[in-house]
Amino acid sequence: MDNKIDIIKEGLSEKLELPREIILDLPMITITGNRDINIENHKGIIIFDEDKVKINSKIGAITIYGSDFEVLFLGGKTFSLKGTFKSVVYEGNE
C-alpha cells in the first residue's frame, strides 16, 4: 500500500514541480568536503560513537564512518555534523 502511495506522490511532485525529498519524506544529505555533513528528513539518531554515527530515515539506516564527530545542530528533522568523514553507507530497509 505504501508503495502505491509513494508512486502517486512521486508523480504529483513531478507534475507540480515540488521537491521529491519533501513530498516523499526522503533524506537529503549534503556533504561539504570531508568535514561537514547535513542530513534533512531524518527519523532520529540510532548510534553516536567516536567513529560511527547511525541515523534512521525512511529509506533505512544511514551510517557515517570517520572520526572527531561533533554535533553542530540537531533540531526538528535536521542534523548537522562536523568531523573527518571516511564513508557514508546506506543500509536500506530490510
Of residues 82 and 3, more confidence is placed in: 82
Average pLDDT over residues 66-82: 94
Domains of the chain: 25-92 (2.60.40.2000)
* Residues 8 and 20 sit within 8 Å (Cβ to Cβ): no
pLDDT of residue 58: 87
* pLDDT tens readout for residues 33-59: 999 999 999 999 999 998 999 999 988
pLDDT of residue 60: 92
pLDDT of residue 21: 67
* Degrees, nearest 5: CA angle 16-19-24: 100
Cα distance between residue 5 and residue 9, in whole Å: 6
**For the chain, where are the alpha helices, taking DSSP H only?**
2-15, 20-23
pTM over 0.85: no
- Which residues share a beta bridge with 53? 48, 64
